[in-house]
Amino acid sequence: MIADLTILNIISFLLIFFIGLPHGSFDGAVASLVGFNNRIQFLQFLFYYLALFFIVIIFWLYFPILALFIFIMMTIAHFGLCDWTNFRINKYKYSVSFTYGMTIIFGIIFFNENQSFLIFEYLTNNKIYLLQKYFYIPYSLTLISILYFIYLSVFEKKLRKGVVEIFFLLFIFYFFDPLLSFAIYFCFFHTYKHLKHLIKNIYLNLNNKKFVIYSTLIFTVISWVGGLGIVYYLVQNLSLYESILKVIFIGLAALTLPHMLLVDIVYRKRFK
């Protein structure tokens, strides 16, 4: 029902859809940075990217609970690696990445558990509340990782701002619902850090700046039009709230796999 949509829900969806999602539109520029330079190579990149995108969607349709679990794991890794890169240190990679990734995902869930599981139910078409009783395990791991991060910050000055940032994020997660909490982190922390690092390397290493602008604009418009089109299709049988949830999060999952392979495995090896 449309009544499911609150003002905060609408703000969250708009932030994710128009600010968060398009940051992946720079993947064309990333592909050029890592070696997909000529037309044939770039078309090959597009083919592999889109193939992975549709494979994830098909997989989600048939195995939604497993797909949700894999998406959460990928998101933890991707967010964490991005935050670790932002510190510009070569050590503590796994500790910092794990702490940030777990804090973002399970911090949001911890402070908004019932609302988060309702979203999971919409995304999987299954009642997965039986798993809720086991979430003390990731909550405990998150707390331990934060304490260890604080310990590391005693010896590494660059991590001290991370302690402040983590507690600020937890403060946000405590006061806002899961969608807005996720939107704030995704749009104003993750997207900013990712683009700051990427744009610097684009400026230094790519001569064809017009290609970056045009490819990014094209991919952004395609993601917006495609997303709105799928929402229109789904809303014929589902509520507007559920339709938007599915497009945002299943779409994010489908984009995260190729985006993560490109950014976290290929790009980060060349541009640390």
Q: How confident is the model at residue 3 (pLDDT cuts 50, 70, 90)?
A: very low
CB atoms within 10 A of CB 127: 10
Residue 240 predicted with pLDDT over 60: yes
For residue 102, the one-letter residue type is M
Nearest to 260 by CA among 99, 74, 37: 74
pLDDT tens by residue, 45-85: 999 999 999 999 999 999 999 999 999 999 999 999 999 99
pLDDT digits (tens, 9 = 90+) for 251-270: 999 989 999 999 888 888 87
pTM: 0.90
Residue 112: strand, helix, or coil: coil
**Is 21's pLDDT higher than 80?**
no
d(CA 149, CA 166): 10
CA nearest to 223, candidates 2, 53, 30, 48: 53
| Summary mean pLDDT of the chain | 90
Range(s) of the domain holding residue 57: 2-270
Long-range contacts of 42-49 (CB under 8 A, 24+ apart): 48/258, 49/258, 49/262
Residue 170 backbone zone (phi > 0: left; psi -120 to 50: alpha; other: beta):
alpha
| pLDDT for the residue 127 | 76
Short-list 192, 186, 196, CA closest to 101: 186
Tally the domains of the chain: 1
